[in-house]
Structure 1
Amino acid sequence: MKFNDAVFRTALVPWKKGKMTVNNKDQSPAGNASKQHLTKDEMREKIKASLAAKEATEFQSSSPKPSSERFSGQNRPASRSPENSSASERTRSDKARQIHDAVSSGYAYDQPRQQRAPQPQHQQRSGGNVATAQRPPRPTPPRHYEPVREESNAGKICIIIGIAVLAVLLLSYIAGLAVYHSKFLPKTYVNGVDIGGMTAEEASDAVLNTAQDMGLTFIPKSGDPITFKGSSFGCTVTLPDNALTEPADESHALWFRKLFSKTEYTVKMQDSYSEDALVSLIAAYDWGNVPPTDAKVVQNEDGSFTIQPEDNGNMVDTQKLSDYTVAQMREGNNTIQMADSDCYKKAAVTAESLEPTLALYNKIGAVEITYDMTDREEIFDPVGTEKLDHATIMDWITTDGDDITVDTDKASAWVQEHIADKYDTLVTGYNFKFKATEDGEITLPIGSDGIYGWKTNVSATVEKLVDYIKAGEAVTIEPVYKVEGFRMNSNAGVTYTGNTYIEVDICHQHLWYYVNGELFLESDVVTGKESDPTRATPPGAYKVWSRESPRKLGTYAVQGYETWVNYWMPVTYTGIGLHDLNRSAYGGDIYINNGSHGCINLPLDVAKKIYDKVTINTPVMIVP
């Protein structure tokens, strides 16, 4: 059975002669004086015991039979008379009605806590007789509602405090909006000046006054900053228009955030000053008096060499500093980092620059320089190596303290004799020893328009040679060339091992293309018109120096013709080359009276194959 609080409170009402009544006035004051604090569980147990006792009493009153006749094996009444049953039902109905009335009226909550009236008399059975006994009054269990009231009060207090705090914060926020209305927010800095809480006019004055007091500050590479007051060179400072717009645009609705962090702005000032006065001021100032000294190579007692480092001193090139300062001032900068201006005078010779010289002094006796000319097309070009030994190098060198001089006249003579004269082939009057396909070994002059061969740039080679000598290392290098012939190793990503060239035989009107000594293709051709010397194809040593597809040849104004070709491979600088031309026939005697204007005419498929395979600098030997 569940008991709600109303049942609890109703159970505390005193019993009278088997009938439950509610009587607030009969409660004893003494009960209040002696009330005990019981838990809810204890109260439930007491109520259960009281109800059980009342039911027992009512049952005894309605059933005066002996105990031997009243109970069966299950300890329950065997039978009741109609009269007793009716009385019991009426008693229970009365009790239920009283409980219902008590719950409906809120009796337990509305009445003050008082000691219950004296308990009703209980019927007791003694044998077969029913006796009435007066039970002592029970104390009413205390009702605890104070904590509920305390919690409710505490909640109300918290709400009141919260409202008060919010009110204070709201008032503070509104006050902040009022304080910083039309003013800069707190912790706002412009050029290092705190303008928080200032109006625009006040902030402008503060920034300008600070800038005017600062004037111009120089930061040297060492030592304290050097300041020129603005008045010393007629300087006045103004703020550009809208210079303070950005800090003024900060959100005032969030002004409180600026209490915890600051913002800094940099504004370039507009200076009005006399540049001439500033330049004069810089020129007259004593920036330093220690001149720079150069590094040098010194000889030690044991014969070895070391470098004595340079000392840059502290003297200033005032012209550089003036130019840099004026430029910075025009940009609105009044703090000059002197090191950035490169104004400090420096030693002309540094220790780092003398490292090669020192190495040369210590290692020159072991230097050997080798020139390598072995990657040429050997069938046409002389190949080999030339070594410049250390004894020859030492003969070219003179020293003056830490200065080493190489005799370039001696070096040039050696390069001319041992490289240019022995290995250059692009020289007027040079004759190639060549084995023609049809005629065998022949001597082929380079020709008046010949462009194939090697030509050394003697002066550039000597210049690099001096650098190699001063570097003091043994190296293997190539000469510097004005013109290069065909290299065997690699051209345009294609590897060659030698004997790669194109041969055109005018007499036999035929072409052969050899790649690495193997015949790649051959074809009949038509060369220049032999009966007209101005259109004849000149014999000699040439090379493919360009590739174009397609290309228009000739002009009506100069050559009297214009022709578009698909594949153009010029071999001279005067307009002669290999190209396709649609003819009915090739080879034979066509060239004598119906030859070209000097070019080598090819069938279209042959021209395409050559164009796809050939690389720049491939030799083209035109045999008479």
Structure 2
Amino acid sequence: MERRKKSLWKKIAATVVIVSVILIAATYAGFSLFFEDHYYYHTKINGDDYSYKTPVEAEAIMYQEFQKYSLEIQGREGMYDTILPAEIDMEYIFDDSLINIKREQSPLLWILGFFKEYSYDIPQLVEYNEEILDEKIDGLTFFKTENIRAPSDAYLTYSSEGKCYIVVDSSPGTDIVKEKTAQVIKEAINRMEFSVDLDEKDCYRYAEVNADDKTLNELAVQANKYISANIIYNWNGSDVVVDGDVISGWIVITKDSATLDEEKIREFVTEQAELYDTYGKNRIFHTTDGREIELKSGAYGWKTDKEAEIETLTAAVKNGETQSREPAYSYTAAAPGQQDIGNSYVEIDLSNQHLYLYVESAIIVESDFVSGNASRGWNTPAGVYGLTYKARNAVLRGEGYETPVNYWMPFNGNIGMHDATWRGSFGGQIYETNGSHGCINLPLENAKIIYEYIYTGFPVVCYY
């Protein structure tokens, strides 16, 4: 009985194994039949999953995707446009690639699809009307005149807030290269890409000079050296400041140099001289007898030595110097400002033949005198002058005369004040017929007093 039981179980087990093998073989064979025209599990074509799909089904799916296709074209500054297949008569063309993939996958080896991935890249073939596409490209928003702006190079500009030159970065603009753009778009359509970025594809023109340009930054250093200069003038009593705001107007920046426009500096110095110089200008003067008169200019006043000052100022700016000073003068006056005569001067009233010496607004001496002989045309000229120099025991020489004097004080060429010991009287109408050659003849004692108080440049005011 035991033997019979064991034999029975062996038969049953063998039968089960045989049946199982048959079932498994039949099942595997059935799947093999399925995979005769279906793709393995884990089959990807052009990145998309086509597991268990037939080539026909894959073609249908691809065609459906094609129906949804459009190319979005992105550009600079948020510009974009699209191209649809219908706009260019575009059609999707299928070749034998999907069938060939299936041929590569043996139906008997379908089980391998559960253990590894099968990836395929096949060409996506399209056809379109080339002429229509070219017309479409021509009309894209990127090529409209109002949307095209040329790139601009980085440049230097002066910042009045920071009082320095700064580098302004280049602007890429929107100037697009048409030929390159058309090529990029066609390549994207041929590959059925859904988007393309024209900037990433280098379809735009770029600026030649950017903010990191070595030469540009060297020019900034040079220009900033110039504007670091700070010169505070005392220009005939008025403050004139030359700082970065002023100097920036004198700097000329080119592609490879930062220089000072010396003509601009000349204009600046000339302008200040015209504004503050008093030399050669008429003045309002209040006479001792209470009149307000306009004095002729004469050879007196503040006069800027423009050539010397232009040279000095240019050098100071080039070196970036800080200074507080007066400009160079070729002539100076007794007092700063437009009223440059001050309160110490010799007042010569030619009409009344009377002189006053003022020192610090106080009359030190007043005196009658004899001026130039009017009858012979030697009238003493009116005007404002500065004492040229003074000398003791001088000999005055002229045509037909040689006269020694004790106190000689010239103020207008060969015209000056001096003692005239040969005269017995002064003042009145003597000058009309018996005047001097143009000098102011004074009594000895008064000439001595005047001589002691005045000095080179001391104002001498003559008027009628």
Indicate the structure whose relative CO is greater, using CA pairs within 8 Å and at least 6 residues apart.
2
Question: More strand by proportion, 1 or 2?
Answer: 2
Q: Normalising by structure 1, what TM-score?
A: 0.37
